């Protein structure tokens, strides 16, 4: 829906690479103005691909999503830009793969500050600028639907689901929709550093592959556009069927491994 984005703007956090960059890329090709924020400095070469996309307008800035003053400054910039803000994608996130007893308070605070408080601050600062028909998308995780060994990350994503529901209830009367997308295993710069983790988890995905940033971005784009106008307070899992399979995904993977070594059928 390219014409829909003429004169309209969206804010995407964590936009320099991975899922955020894929989301920004789609919106730019459709003619949107994209306020792309990230802690990565805008002069870093990682931004070059987005800067080269024709169609929309990229406004990149360096910002820590956990900084309330940064959000207030961004809101003022958008309010005086003459453009209509119709979208916010709270994509920025960090991981810390340790359990409760191995997680220091500083690490706990850092993960929640980025993954949960950042989304709260973004909604609080920008929702007042958004007209009816606007859409907010929070990027959660399947880790927010189950127990997960990374304690701070798990807690932050469970919290994000609650924030999504609360905001959907509050902002719905103003015609602003708030939804959550919960990806499963997606190969991004945040996950590829744990290659053993990625390869192991891939065995539990019924579609037998990891997701791509574009797999997530396409659903985010749908939620931002009018076709999703009655979808509010939802949490869409995009994980190749892993969460739906539950314990059976683990059982199937183990049976497959046994069959590979023994030559017996995996039944």
Residues classed as catalytic = 153
Tokens of 157: 């994503």
C-alpha–C-alpha distance, residues 244 and 239, integer Å? 9
Q: Are 245 and 204 in contact (CB under 8 A)?
A: yes
Q: Burial level of 153, CB count in 10 A (0-12/13-18/19+)?
A: buried
**What would you measure as the largest C-alpha separation in the chain, in angstroms?**
68
Closest residue by Cα to residue 203 from 234, 240, 235, 175: 240
C-alpha–C-alpha distance, residues 40 and 248, integer Å? 40
Residue 50 Cα distances to 28, 46, 89, 180, angstroms: 8, 9, 16, 24
Which DSSP string do the residues of 104-134 spell out, in sequence order? Answer: -HHHHHHHHIIIIIHHHHHHHHHGGGPPTT-
């Amino acid at each position: 829906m390219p014409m829909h984005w003429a004169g309209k703007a969206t804010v995407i956090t964590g936009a320099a690479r991975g899922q955020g960059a894929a989301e920004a890329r789609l919106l730019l090709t459709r003619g949107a103005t994209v306020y792309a924020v990230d802690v990565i400095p805008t002069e870093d070469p990682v931004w070059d691909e987005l800067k080269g996309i024709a169609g929309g307008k990229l406004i990149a800035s360096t910002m820590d999503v956990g900084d309330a003053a940064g959000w207030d400054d961004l809101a003022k910039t958008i309010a005086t830009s003459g453009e209509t803000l119709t979208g916010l994608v709270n994509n920025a996130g960090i991981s810390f793969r340790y359990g409760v007893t191995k997680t220091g308070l500083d690490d706990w605070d850092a993960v929640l500050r980025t993954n949960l408080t950042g989304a709260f601050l973004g909604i609080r600062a920008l929702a007042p600028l958004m007209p009816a028909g606007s859409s907010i998308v929070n990027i959660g995780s399947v880790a927010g639907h189950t127990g997960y060994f990374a304690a701070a990350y798990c807690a932050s994503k469970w919290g994000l689901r609650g924030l999504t529901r609360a905001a959907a209830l509050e902002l719905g009367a103003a015609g602003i929709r708030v939804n959550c997308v919960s990806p499963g295993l997606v190969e991004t710069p945040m996950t590829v550093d744990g290659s053993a983790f990625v390869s192991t988890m891939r065995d539990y995905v019924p579609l037998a592959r990891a997701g791509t940033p574009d797999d997530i971005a396409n659903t985010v784009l749908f939620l931002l556009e009018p076709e999703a106008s009655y979808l509010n307070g939802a949490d869409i899992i995009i994980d190749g069927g892993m969460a739906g399979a539950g314990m059976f995904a683990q059982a199937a993977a183990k049976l497959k491994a046994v069959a590979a070594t023994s030559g017996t059928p995996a039944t």
